[in-house]
Chains A and B, each alone.
Chain A
Amino acid sequence: MNAVGWGLVSAVVVALAATVAALAVPRRHRPAVTGVGVVAAGLLGTVAGVVATTGTTWSVARPDLLPLIGLELDVDSLSGVFLAVGGVVAIAAGTYAIGAARHGLDGPGVQAALPAFVASLLLVPAAGSVGTLLYCWELMALTSLVLVVAEHRERPAVASAGLWYAVMTHAGFVAIMVGLLVAAGAAGDGSFAAIRAAASGLSPAAASPAFLACLAGFGSKAGMVPLHPWLPRAHPEAPSHVSALMSAAMVNLGVYGIVRVGVDLLGGGPSWWWVTVLVLGAVSAVYGILQAAVGSDLKRLLGYSTTENMGLVLVGVGACGMFAAAGSRALAGLALTAALLHVMTHAAFKTVLFLSAGSVLHATGTRDLDALGGLRSRMPVTTAAFGVGALAASALPPGAAFVSEWLLLQALIHGLPAPGVVPAVVLPLGVAAIALTAGLAVATFVKAFGIGFLGRPRGAGAAAAAESGPAALTAMVLAGLACVAAAVCPTLVLPTLAEVAGGVVHAVPAVSGTVAIELVGVSGVLSPVLLVVTLIAAAAAVVGALRLLARRRDRRRARLWDCGAGPLSARMEYTATSFAEPLQRVFDDVLAPEQDVDVSHHEESRYLVAAVSYRRELPDRVERRLYTPLLDAATAWGRAGRGLATGSVHRYLGYGFVTLCGLLAWLVVTR
């Protein structure tokens, strides 16, 4: 067993031991025990992942370990990337979990589920056969479901979110199972190696349905539109460190599944598979960020932002498959490198954003941006952490996501001369989608940071806020440092990622360089380090010049300009809703907001208004148009079925008799 094997096995053993310990130790020590277990498992998983990305592979087959299917693990460099990302997120989330055990979160079930969830997050990318993958996937779904519904006693919305999540994740599971079983059936064996070997002989009539089923299942986990409605419900309702694990680590495994099955196991497939992925990714990106831009629930906004970022990753994956199908391997490698880098940067900034949102929720008791504000002086570390995350998420230089989006755009730009009509239509639209996303992401995160943390407190909770405990602060600082590192020196990981991506699509690494990111094969250079250095130098020059020129050094504190009408109150401030109102008006046709104005009059006179109530809702349109009719139909079907069941035993016996006769008649006719 090599370092990868030791790291992975010990990570899983530590996590499972923490699960057992959570059930055994008294309530007082439980959060610390599970938290430390999760951190240790995360560390070991990260080590295993990092070693695996350098090219060390490890595989094991133990048919005796799991009933019926056996356990087969197979870690290669692609698995390593997702292992490492999951491990790093687990370190931060575990640290946060030590301090996050409020009432209701320190029960044995919830505490035991957390390490088991982390173990499943590490096992899914390591799975080496269909059976093992499905087993770990289901373990991941169940443990995360337990965590999502942890606070169901406190808020009724949690139960509904849990129901959505449970149903959709299992529908996705069935889709993946069908897809993988079709592929495995053709290969005659469930191991990935066998499927890979048999892929070339697979007929398109079998491969395409298998891929589409897997795309639906894995895409739903990644929050791909239109299979996303569980995500903006479940992620906000879960405890914040669980939200971080789900949004920064679990959704990545959807992308992993698509890459593993589509590119690796099925060997690439025809171009239209990937055009589908690219288009769905672009739609998800725009739709997700548009919902986030007009939303005012901090954690729900972050959930929609996850849909957006996974959409961008899927654009990269789709472009990769498209280029590979067209034969340009170098560009395929570049697109996949961009997608993998975006997975990493998204994990970094989404962890810090969810953890600091959790810190805000804990301190103020609300996640409604309209009731927040003024947290800068009360919660300085949380504010700084959220600021770093918001900069990274808004894709502005020198932020982390800027680098990965730059790489993605480079891949699309250089791909345009590719032959065929389809790239000529799809690639510009892809760029336009990314461009729209970039602009709206800026608006979203200016709103989240500017309204949520700056200005004056808009509610009693925000006014009484106090900074979180040391564990939460440590976790936020760790995740924030990861964000900064990803923004300033992505070149530390990029050549490795490029090698991984090159290995997947059989091409030379698409990116090299230590100071600057240099594209191989096409022209393109970017140096985030130099950009930061130049910015700091310019800022120093400006401050120096100002010191030199200004006559008076002292600063005077003064009143804000209040139009001469007396002191300003927090009610005069802009809120998140008012901030997003112009954007909402611009995208009125897409968002279709529902408004309701109720005017009640005095009894004495109809001309005197007693009260005006105004209500506005921004429903998720996909949910409203697609899922509500579906659910209504299912309910109607159930109601119709109820008419058959009257409670009369005679009638039930009659059903049995009729069915039996019918079957016999059918057998007679067909045989």
Chain B
Amino acid sequence: MEPIRYVEALNNKIGAMGFSPYQWSENDTAHWTALEKPLSARTVAILVSGGISHCAAVPFNPDARNDHRVDAIDPGAPSDQYQIHDSYYDHADADRDLNCIFPVDRLTVLAAGGEIGAVAARHWSGFMGRTYNRSKVMNESGPAFVEQLKADGVDLLVAIPA
């Protein structure tokens, strides 16, 4: 099947919820960091935006807008101790197996097999909101997040939007 046209569908959904129209980012070029380092020597972290929080933490707001919250996720914690609150996708499968959307256990297996150097000390869940105040991502919440990655020596981030 053809890929779903999410831009159009989300615009309609956001409008139906009574929110103002979403202005999508459009970029012709991308930033680039060249790193001559094999996977087997890299420390890898995962960031997911699907409203995933530890059961002991406050749940994410499933209809959030402008939510810059990002939680650290312990890669050693059992993946069945998380909850998902996000009204923008069907997480029935992910409720049963977090790895459908946030493949933390699979990354641990790849690390054990030597395919990557190491799993980072922390994974991340956040930046889920329909973000209207994008300059805040670029100037505040984004850079603050990068400092956390640097503190953990991360040299590859796998980013998973949901």
Tell whether A and B belong to one assembly: no
Q: Please report A residues at the B interface, Cβ cutoff 8 Å.
A: none
Q: Please report B residues at the A interface, Cβ cutoff 8 Å.
A: none
